[in-house]
Structure 1
Amino acid sequence: MRVAAFQPYLFPYIGYFKLISEVDIFVVLDDVSFRKKSYINRNTIKICGKPHNFTVPVKDVSQNRLINQHYYMNDGDLFVKMIGDYGRTAIFGHLKEYYEYVFSENNISGNVAEVNFLLISKVCEMLQVKTKIIKSSSLLIDAVGERRIIDICTSLGASCYVNPVGGIGLYGEETFLQAGLDLEFKDYRGLIAGDVAYSILDDIFSKGVCNVSNILRSTL
């Protein structure tokens, strides 16, 4: 069984969802430290045809607290900013409605990890990605770093851990092999993403749900 794990990014780029699609269980690392200037609460979309970095504000950000201990202040007017480039697409209104539902105080607390988890799950549903998605907090793993990932895999009965190529310096093949795990690295940037790693929103709105779904199912 193949497992991958990553922080709950806000509408991450297409490679994040390609990673999800290629494993049996994807673990959202909701109980790790919040990293400032990461993609947890920010990303890139198009405005007037050009890259625009957006940030959804989070209250009292601290790298000394976990992601699931942080809360969004508001939605940062994200969809208002997107109307110019994406507002006329067929799927825009549907995703906007869901996004606003997720952010509504009547439905959830505004917890960053919970919001991002639900949005990732919704995008997977739209793109027909059937991978099981769980939160690391549900596994009650105390270890950190490389040991944490190994313990997560072991607790799930995994035979292989898959990680983006950027993690090559974080994880050692020999350590994983000693734990009975294969270690596999994937690099999607030059294959299914362009020079700018836009949010998955750009792919959905510019290419359409069916085309993006086909990209995720394609063999690289």
Structure 2
Amino acid sequence: MIVAIHQPNFFPWLGFFDKINKANIFVYLNHVENNPRTAIYTKRTKIIVNGQEHWLTCNLKSEPGKVFLPIDNMKIDNPARLRDKHIKTFELSYKKAPYFEETFGIIQEFYNHPSDLISDRNIFTIDLICKKLSIDVQKVKSSDLNIQTASNQLLIDTVSKIGGSIYMPGGGAAGYQEDQMFKDNKIGLHFQDFKHPVYSQFNTAKFIPGLSILDCLMNIGISETEILLKSGQEGQK
């Protein structure tokens, strides 16, 4: 059984959903600590504004005397102001996109979510997008597993605790993972190997990869995005 593990990112890129799609179980790594000021992909994503890459950022609250916080404790600073600012950005940048109306409802779900916790909103929205794309994969929160280890041992313990036999690192992890540790714990490694597809982008002359999945949804819609992801699926899980 293939297990993929990743922090719950803010409107992630296509590669994030490719990883979920290729797993049997996906674990949201939401209990580990990070700095709210530098937790880049927990609070930031890339879209296109005026034909250029643009970071869309959620400001997070810091707690006095604490540099690091568990991801599942990080709160959005002034959610109402964030909503107004981001919604305006999406409307100005993507209003003329072919599938704006279809995608805008997903965006609104994030900003209308009742929780101030960024991880709650991220997880809710990722699950929603998976449902729209017919990605039917079991998901688990690491905060429910009560694992106290760190680094590779955390990954090994997580895979073992949920009964997995194979861990799926991202393609960029090759050479970083301590393969022998996984082998000693009878866990195989199966690297993701995501190849970024090219799709039509209505608001730029040259294709820009690595953007939020929202860019893909805006440009080619839910059905075609599902086809893109499923075409990159590897054989039998």
Give me the TM-score of the superposition, normalised by structure 2: 0.83
- Deviation for aligned residue 1:88: 4.0
- Deviation for aligned residue 1:101: 4.2
SS of 1:125's equivalent? helix
Say whether 1:64 aligns with 2:72.
no
Q: Which residue of 2 aligns with 1:92?
A: 100
Q: Which residue of 2 aligns with 1:175?
A: 181
Say whether 1:157 aligns with 2:163.
yes
Does the 8 Å CA contact 1:4/1:163 hold for their aligned counterparts? yes
Max Rg structure: 2
TM alignment of 1:35-184, pairs within 5 A: 35=35, 36-60=38-62, 63-73=67-77, 74=79, 75=82, 77-89=85-97, 91-93=99-101, 95-104=103-112, 108-184=114-190
Say whether 1:192 aligns with 2:197.
yes
Does the 8 Å CA contact 1:146/1:170 hold for their aligned counterparts? no
- Deviation for aligned residue 1:103: 3.5
Q: Percent identity?
A: 24
Q: Which residue of 1 aligns with 2:20?
A: 20
Identify which range, 200-209 or 37-46, moves more after superposition: 37-46
Amino acid at match of 1:211: E
Does the 8 Å CA contact 2:99/2:219 hold for their aligned counterparts? no
Identify which range, 134-143 or 78-87, moves more after superposition: 78-87
Amino acid at match of 1:19: K
Identify which range, 126-135 or 72-81, moves more after superposition: 72-81
Q: Which consecutive unaligned segments of at least 5 residues does structure 2 have? A: 199-206
| CA 58–142 in structure 1, closer or farther in 2 if over 3 Å, else same | same
- Deviation for aligned residue 1:95: 4.4
| CA 157–117 in structure 1, closer or farther in 2 if over 3 Å, else same | same
| CA 5–169 in structure 1, closer or farther in 2 if over 3 Å, else same | same
Does the 8 Å CA contact 1:46/1:82 hold for their aligned counterparts? no
Q: Which consecutive unaligned segments of at least 5 residues does structure 1 have? A: none
SS of 1:39's equivalent? helix
Q: Which residue of 2 aligns with 1:9?
A: 9
The count of aligned residue pairs is 217
Identify which range, 116-125 or 72-81, moves more after superposition: 72-81
Structure 2 distance, partners of 1:64, 1:44, is 24
Cα deviations by residue, 1:180-208 (Å, 9 ceiling, x for unpaired): 111122232x5336653100000110111
The CA RMSD over aligned residues, in Å, is 2.1
Of 203, 225, 235, which residue of structure 2 is paired with 1:212?
Answer: 225
Give me the TM-score of the superposition, normalised by structure 1: 0.89
Does the 8 Å CA contact 1:128/1:213 hold for their aligned counterparts? yes
